[in-house]
Chain A
Amino acid sequence: MTVLSCSGLRRRFGDVLAVDDVSFTITEGETYGLLGPNGAGKTTTISMITGVLSPDAGEVLVAGEPMSIHAIAAKRLVGYVPQELALYPDLTGRENLRFFASLYGAPKSRVDHVLDVVGLADRAGDLAREYSGGMKRRLNVAIGLLHEPRLLVLDEPTAGVDPQSRNQIMDNVRALAADGMAILYTTHYMEEAERLCDRVGVIDSGRLIAEGTRRELVERLGERDRISLLLDGDVTHAAAVLGSIRNVHGVAAHGQGLELVVDDARETLPQVLSAISADGVVVRSAEVTEPNLETVFLHLTGKALRE
């Protein structure tokens, strides 16, 4: 079931067209990564999805409810975790949660529940200003979960946090998606996107330039997996043997090394090793390189994700 549907979103700030004809959908239980360099239009897109900004054109539907800056019903369906820490430093963690719970009409019992979920129950009575950066990030996420939204929008939720908090946030996201929540996730960390997101959309200069699963995007760009081998024995003969395997599309020799261009390296590697062993050649090392989202991103935008 489609939880978020964006169609033809457009927003201009003066002469700058920040978002231009962006359309995508997210279904129940799906985690969608929105990737793009700084200034690409991610936050503007998110602001329109959460009802913070009005689009100049296009439409946002959340579980069928039209979203706008005045759409009270649609806003109840969305949990928002802004990129900046959006907390009141002179209130305790629990007071921060209670305030937002009351705004959303969430029951008080949810406060203790989300404190448990993000691992802050034992520090709930401390002022937010006394929290570490990671704890603040976790509280930031917890506020977005209070009212059990159908759609959770996380804008760079792990920026600048320690590995422990980062892992906890990612575990939380996975668990929420498993429970059926639709999640829109932006991040600068490519490995997070690869680990968490079912699909990604790449946005650049305000336009959604590619969308799909990691494998779909990689294949669309003509990128293939590679297996690098270091051998003892007759390399030339080994190259000839390996070239005859069905999933191997190319073999190049470099001294005692061989580089193979293959389909699905993880599936092909056992066949490769088996073939070489049968030929009496000893494999000293084997390395698999899969084209990742970073490669895709660089190819599509000409920029690294962190630029």
Chain B
Amino acid sequence: MRHALLIAARDLRERARDRTAYVLALVLPLGLAGIFTLILGNVGGDSQLFRYAVVDSDRGAVARTFTEEVLRGAASSGAIEIRAAASEQEARSWVDKGEATAAFLLPVGLTEDVLAGRAARIEVVGDVDAPTGTQVARSLAQSYTDRLTAVRQAVAATVHSGLTTSPAELAAEAAAALPRVSVAEDTTLSRQLDAKTQYAAGMAVFFLFFAVQLGVTGLLEERRLGTMARLLAAPVRRSSILLGKLLTSVAIGVLSMTVLIVASSLLMGARWGSPAGVALLVLSGVLAATGAMAVVAALAKTAEQAGGWQAVTAIVLGSLGGAFFPVSQAGGLLEKLSLLAPHRWFLRGLADLAGGDVAAVLPSVAAMTAFAAVTCTAALLLFRKVVPS
């Protein structure tokens, strides 16, 4: 271990004189996060609270249930605010001005349509600059109308089947089946990062993959410099040489992330969350990044080739993992594939931490640690070809 530390210390001393390291590990992520925040900081809003307008043109039981049970239930959790508008025009005006995230338009005859067996429809008017809030509003409305349809079909089936359930019992069961929306604290609504933190974290974890490559490509650099033969002839275990390079990456990664977290908190007002939780995420994220970049380095023949491949890998994983945009909302295959990227788990862990305690990050930490274990093992096996025997 002493030799591994000596090798890592030498690498770090050399990297400390390399301006590229500072640019990749600090300047670029901090600069880009700042730029993104300035440009896109208001998209989606910094607040986690969605303000919805409701226009009840129906004045019937179905509209009242939606307003009183569904929306008020959600509002009581503190996740949303409800404000009644006198008309559709007024509601649209609030949305246009950004005073409301979205508006629910409960049309005239909504209750009548439902009772007559016709399709129920609740219109949602959303703010184009608040896609998440609009999506949440659509989900609430869709969920309610779906449940209405299901209940209506169940009642019709009961009546047609000739069962002797009394209308009062049916009504009671239908009422019980209606959506009881309650938004607990641990939901998507509360587990999201504000824009500044999102961009700071996204850029930090994206450039982390570039920063750690400075360590793991060291083996190829040693070969280029001719110093590999000297290290192999020295009374040092070969595993110490490999471990030293991995330690260099980990040290650069942790240092880079720490500086970025402190700087983005002080300069941009990013809120990273509990230090203990963030530390766990950073450490497991750095290990995962080191493993991924080590595999790429082990497959390359030269440091230059490794640098190119690592850049491609970092960009692909970063994009897939949501470093630039929230892939998790895309759904489908892309959403599933994003689970392969440590970035996704790092950002998810931070979001979980924002809505919970330190234990909330453990699933993400476990996923990134497993990723690191697999990739680091693969890299150590692959590096045998770099080290002659």
Which residues of A line the B interface, CB within 8 A?
Answer: 47, 50-54, 69-70, 72-73, 75-76, 78, 80, 82, 84-91, 95, 99-100, 102-105, 143
Q: How many A-B residue pairs have CB under 8 A?
A: 73
Q: A88-B10, A90-B14, A91-B13 are in contact. Are A47 and B229 (CB under 8 A)?
A: yes
Chain A: CB-nearest residue to B232: A52
Q: How many residues of B contact A (CB 8 A)?
A: 22
Instruction: Assess the B227–A88 pair: CB atoms within 8 A.
Output: yes
Check A50/B233 contact, CB under 8 A, given A85-B226, A87-B227. yes
Chain B facing A: main interface SS? helix
Known: A90-B17, A91-B13. A51 touches B229 (CB 8 A): no
| CB-CB contacts below 8 Å: B222-261 with A | 225-227, 229-238
Some 11 contacts from A to B, beta carbons below 8 A apart, are A50-B233, A52-B229, A69-B232, A70-B237, A72-B237, A85-B226, A86-B229, A88-B227, A90-B18, A99-B6, A104-B234
Contact between A86 and B227, CB atoms less than 8 A apart: yes
User: Could you tell me if B235 and A69 are in contact, using CB atoms closer than 8 angstroms?
Assistant: no
Q: Which residue of B lies closest to A81 (CB)?
A: B230
Q: Known contacts A52-B388, A69-B389, A103-B6; is A84 also within 8 Å of B14 by CB?
A: no
**Please, which residues of chain B bring their CB within 8 A of the CB of A88?**
10, 14, 225, 227
* B389 surroundings in chain A (CB, below 8 A): 53-54, 69
Question: Are the C-beta atoms of B235 and A72 separated by less than 8 Å?
Answer: yes
Bound: A91/B226 CA distance, A: 15
For the complex formed, measure the closest distance between the CB of B219 and the CB atoms of chain A, giving whole angstroms.
Answer: 14
Q: Which residues of the other chain, B, contact A105 by a CB distance below 8 angstroms?
A: 235
How far is it, in angstroms, between the C-alpha of A86 and the C-alpha of B18 when the chains are bound?
A: 20
| Cβ-neighbour of A82 out of B6, B226, B235, B237 (below 8 A) | B226
User: CB of B121 within 8 A of chain A?
Assistant: no
CB pair A99–B10 under 8 Å, yes or no, is yes
A75 x B226 contact (CB < 8 A): no
Q: Is B72 an interface residue (CB 8 A)?
A: no
Taking A52-B388, A102-B6 as contacts, is the C-beta distance between A80 and B230 under 8 angstroms? yes
Least Cβ–Cβ distance between B4 and chain A, in angstroms: 11
8 further contact pairs, Cβ within 8 A, besides A69-B238, A90-B14? A47-B229, A50-B233, A86-B226, A86-B230, A88-B225, A89-B225, A91-B13, A105-B235
Taking the complex as formed, is B152 at the interface, i.e. its CB lies under 8 A from any CB of chain A?
Answer: no
Q: Which residue of chain A has the shortest Cβ distance to B224 in the bound complex? A: A84
Residue of B nearest to A77 (CB): B235
Distance of B44 from chain A, by nearest CB (Å): 45
